[in-house]
Amino acid sequence: MEDATNSEKADKKPLSDSEAVEHVIEILLSDTARLKARSEDEAAFFAIKASSAMGYSEPMTAEQRAMNSMLAKLKMSYACCEKAWKLYHYLRS
């Protein structure tokens, strides 16, 4: 069983930036219990803080900046932003 798992990992290819962002936003939107920030400004702060915590800072790709913008427009909480950037990192690795 372990050999099959190792083989699957070897065959797994990271998603492109745009594919990863699409998947992350889709997953977050499907979570009806997600928490919201009080404002877009607060959510933008949370998005930047979460991306920095995962090692993503300027210069960012256009897709990474777009994800932070979407997280802000959707007024995502810090927990949601953190989840988004962890998912993005996983999908890109």
pLDDT tens digits for range 2-11: 454 454 555 6
pLDDT score of 72 more than 60: yes
Q: CB count, 10 Å around CB of 69? A: 14
Q: Does position 79 have pLDDT exceeding 80, yes or no?
A: yes
- Over residues 18-24, the mean pLDDT reads 91
54 burial (CB, 10 Å; 0-12 / 13-18 / 19+) is middle
Question: Is residue 76 classed as helix, strand or coil in its secondary structure?
Answer: strand
Answer whether 47's CB lies under 8 Å from 37's CB.
Answer: no
What is the distance between the alpha carbons of residues 69 and 85, in angstroms, rounded to a whole number? 13
Q: What is the value of pTM for the model shown? A: 0.79
What is the share, in percent, of the chain residues with pLDDT greater than 90? 67
